[in-house]
Amino acid sequence: MAKIILEKSKCIGCGSCQVLCPKFFEIKDSKAHLKGSQTKSDNEEMETAEIDDCVKEAASACPMECIRIEN
Ligand code: SF4
Protein backbone atom coordinates (compact mmCIF):
# COMPACT_ATOMS: atom_id res chain seq x y z
CA MET A 1 0.00 0.00 0.00
CA ALA A 2 1.05 3.56 -0.62
CA LYS A 3 -0.11 6.71 1.09
CA ILE A 4 -0.94 10.20 -0.15
CA ILE A 5 -0.49 12.93 2.44
CA LEU A 6 -1.70 16.48 2.06
CA GLU A 7 -0.24 18.96 4.53
CA LYS A 8 -3.08 21.42 4.61
CA SER A 9 -1.39 24.04 6.78
CA LYS A 10 1.16 24.73 4.03
CA CYS A 11 -1.42 24.91 1.21
CA ILE A 12 -1.97 28.33 -0.35
CA GLY A 13 -4.94 27.20 -2.44
CA CYS A 14 -3.29 27.88 -5.81
CA GLY A 15 -5.42 25.21 -7.49
CA SER A 16 -2.68 23.42 -9.46
CA CYS A 17 -3.43 20.04 -7.89
CA GLN A 18 -7.10 20.33 -8.78
CA VAL A 19 -6.28 21.20 -12.39
CA LEU A 20 -3.75 18.38 -12.79
CA CYS A 21 -5.55 15.71 -10.80
CA PRO A 22 -9.25 16.44 -10.23
CA LYS A 23 -9.89 12.78 -9.48
CA PHE A 24 -8.10 13.21 -6.14
CA PHE A 25 -7.94 16.93 -5.36
CA GLU A 26 -10.42 19.75 -5.09
CA ILE A 27 -10.31 23.23 -3.62
CA LYS A 28 -12.63 23.79 -0.68
CA ASP A 29 -12.66 26.96 1.41
CA SER A 30 -9.42 28.15 -0.28
CA LYS A 31 -7.48 24.99 0.61
CA ALA A 32 -6.87 21.76 -1.24
CA HIS A 33 -8.88 18.73 -0.15
CA LEU A 34 -7.83 15.16 -0.84
CA LYS A 35 -11.03 13.44 -1.91
CA GLY A 36 -11.99 10.44 0.19
CA SER A 37 -9.24 11.06 2.72
CA GLN A 38 -9.20 10.88 6.50
CA THR A 39 -8.08 13.88 8.51
CA LYS A 40 -5.18 13.23 10.84
CA SER A 41 -4.25 16.27 12.92
CA ASP A 42 -3.36 18.92 10.36
CA ASN A 43 -3.05 16.53 7.43
CA GLU A 44 -5.36 14.65 5.14
CA GLU A 45 -4.22 11.12 4.36
CA MET A 46 -5.36 8.35 2.08
CA GLU A 47 -4.08 4.85 1.50
CA THR A 48 -4.21 3.47 -2.00
CA ALA A 49 -2.96 0.32 -3.70
CA GLU A 50 -1.24 2.29 -6.43
CA ILE A 51 -0.36 5.95 -6.84
CA ASP A 52 -2.09 7.43 -9.86
CA ASP A 53 0.27 9.29 -12.23
CA CYS A 54 -1.68 12.50 -11.82
CA VAL A 55 -1.03 12.47 -8.05
CA LYS A 56 2.70 12.38 -8.82
CA GLU A 57 2.26 15.28 -11.24
CA ALA A 58 0.32 17.26 -8.65
CA ALA A 59 2.98 16.58 -6.02
CA SER A 60 5.74 17.80 -8.37
CA ALA A 61 3.79 20.88 -9.37
CA CYS A 62 2.71 21.98 -5.89
CA PRO A 63 4.60 25.23 -5.15
CA MET A 64 4.47 24.62 -1.39
CA GLU A 65 5.48 20.95 -1.53
CA CYS A 66 2.50 19.97 0.59
CA ILE A 67 1.59 16.79 -1.30
CA ARG A 68 3.69 13.82 -0.21
CA ILE A 69 3.69 10.22 -1.38
CA GLU A 70 4.87 7.44 0.93
CA ASN A 71 5.44 3.97 -0.45
S1 SF4 B 1 -0.94 22.62 -5.57
FE2 SF4 B 1 -0.29 22.63 -3.42
S3 SF4 B 1 -0.49 24.75 -2.71
FE4 SF4 B 1 -1.65 24.54 -4.61
S5 SF4 B 1 -3.74 24.07 -3.94
FE6 SF4 B 1 -2.73 22.11 -4.33
S7 SF4 B 1 -1.89 21.48 -2.35
FE8 SF4 B 1 -2.38 23.67 -2.20
What local confidence, expressed as pLDDT, does residue 41 receive?
Answer: 86
Name the pTM for this structure.
0.94
What local confidence, expressed as pLDDT, does residue 42 receive?
Answer: 87
Beta strand extents in 1-71 (DSSP E only) = 2-7, 25-28, 31-34, 38-40, 43-48, 67-70
d(CA 25, CA 11): 12
From the alpha carbon of 12, which atom of ligand 1 is closest? 3
| Angle at the Cα of 15 from the Cα atoms of 50 and 13, rounded to 5 degrees | 110
d(CA 12, CA 49): 28
Q: Does residue 14 have its Cβ closer than 6 Å to ligand 1? A: yes
Residues 39/47, Cβ–Cβ less than 8 Å: no
Domain boundaries, the chain: 2-70
What digits encode the pLDDT tens for the residues 20-55? Answer: 999 999 999 999 999 999 998 889 999 999 999 999
Q: Does residue 20 have its Cβ closer than 6 Å to ligand 1? A: no
Atom 4 in ligand 1: which residue has the minimum CA distance?
Answer: 14
- Which CATH code fits 2-70? 3.30.70.20
